[in-house]
Amino acid sequence: MLEKKGHRVLRYTLRNDEVEGMSKAALAARTIWSRESYREVLEIVERERVDVVHVHNTLPLASPAVYHAAQNGGAAVVQTLHNFRFICPGALLLRDGKLCHDCVGKAVATPAIRHKCYRDNTAATAAVVATTAVHRAAGTYESKVDRYIALSEFARGLFVEGGLPEAQIAVKPNALQNDPVMGKGGNYALFAGRLSRGKGIQVLLDAWASDPELPTLKIAGDGDLSCLVHKAAEADPRIESLGWCDAETMATLMAEAAVLVTPSMWYEGWPLVAIEAMGQGTPVVATNHGVFPEMIVDGITGHLVARGDAEALASGVRKLVDDPEMLREIRSATYELYTERFTREINYRQLRSIYADAIAHRNGETVRLDSAEASAPSSRARTPKSSREPVSWTW
């Protein structure tokens, strides 16, 4: 997106398969502080005169050393919080299928070590916990990062509760690769995503089992509960198990669906599947927790239902498919909401504004996010506070 807008973008990428051959002690040490990444990032920032280093993930090979390298090289630092790793070593705030906040706000996340929350491995979890604890104590997260990007107001609140500096957290969701166009709609319900417990697959199947009047359900995706879905499809002719589908097929499925169903049991970050459906006018029936209340206007662009309640999920779907005239109105409202809040152009303006704030902060200017600036996405995107046009944004 940035390159299409004429900005020069550099990429610094590491791959997890590089850990092969490293001892546990060496990997743990590099997770906390990577001399290699510090040296490489500093060299790039200084040589290319980078304005903003936009970090997406430091675990395990890059480490928070990249923040120090960027700052020492003269760049502003932006970190997107794609998951909850900063406040939950397991990243999902989920343990044994249940929501878990045991480590939120703790200086040292000892419960995670006890439960082996990272890769079901005590040593690996301890390394993640140590990294966060060490850099929290050293002030890295407050002094070396100019702006954090939370994907939702819900996530922002959790990160503030977990100890990240409130004044430095902006809200900007992820954008789609391309803006969709309005679809024609259809008469079936669609689930698209990983077939796992956290995605609410069991709740989805229970909903269809509880209501013989629900329409055809097409389930696209693969995962641990594939066998469960296949069995349900064999027993119920309304259920179609499609398996993994490519992007083109998914776009067609969403455009022709009456409704997308996302009964997630965990906290989603920013589920692009829901935004992609909305960009084609397809309303969403989703769990009424986490990020979904910020994406869906209940009764206007879809329905929000109680977490884990199969009957409520079935009722939410029925409310849409049983009234074709209302469904047409909701499709129009859904597409309108997407164009007003979630297009790539709006996302680009939000990102520019955040970068400008980060640069101003790095230059010693007093910049504080007020309630409007930290709010959920708006079609009235702010103009950058800094007159300096970034020439090289990198992640």
Angle, helices 201-210/226-235, rounded to nearest 10 degrees: 10
Task: Detail the DSSP E strand segments found in 103-234.
Answer: 147-150, 169-171, 189-192, 217-220
| Separation CA 345–CA 259 (nearest Å) | 26
Q: Which stretch of DSSP H or E encloses residue 52?
A: strand 52-55
Average of per-residue pLDDT across 175-185: 95
Q: Delineate the domains of the chain, giving CATH numbers in brackets.
A: 8-81+139-175+345-394 (no CATH), 189-341 (3.40.50.2000)
Q: What pairs with residue 298 in β-bridges?
A: 302
- pLDDT tens per residue across span 312-329: 999 999 999 999 999 999
Query: Strands 189-192 and 392-394: what pairing?
Result: unpaired
- pLDDT tens per residue across span 183-226: 999 999 999 999 999 999 999 999 999 999 999 999 999 999 99
- pLDDT tens per residue across span 369-389: 543 343 344 333 333 333 334
Task: Detail the DSSP E strand segments found in 298-348.
Answer: 302-305
Q: Which stretch of DSSP H or E encloses residue 202?
A: helix 201-210
Nearest C-alpha neighbor of 351 from the set 74, 59, 76: 76
Average of per-residue pLDDT across 153-179: 97
Identify the band that residue 231 occupies on the pLDDT scale cut at 50, 70 and 90.
Answer: very high
Residue 143: Cβ within 10 Å count: 12
- pLDDT tens per residue across span 53-96: 999 999 999 999 999 999 999 999 999 999 999 999 999 999 98
Query: Strands 98-99 and 94-95: what pairing?
Result: antiparallel
Q: What percent of the chain has pLDDT over 90?
A: 89
Residue 81: Cβ within 10 Å count: 21
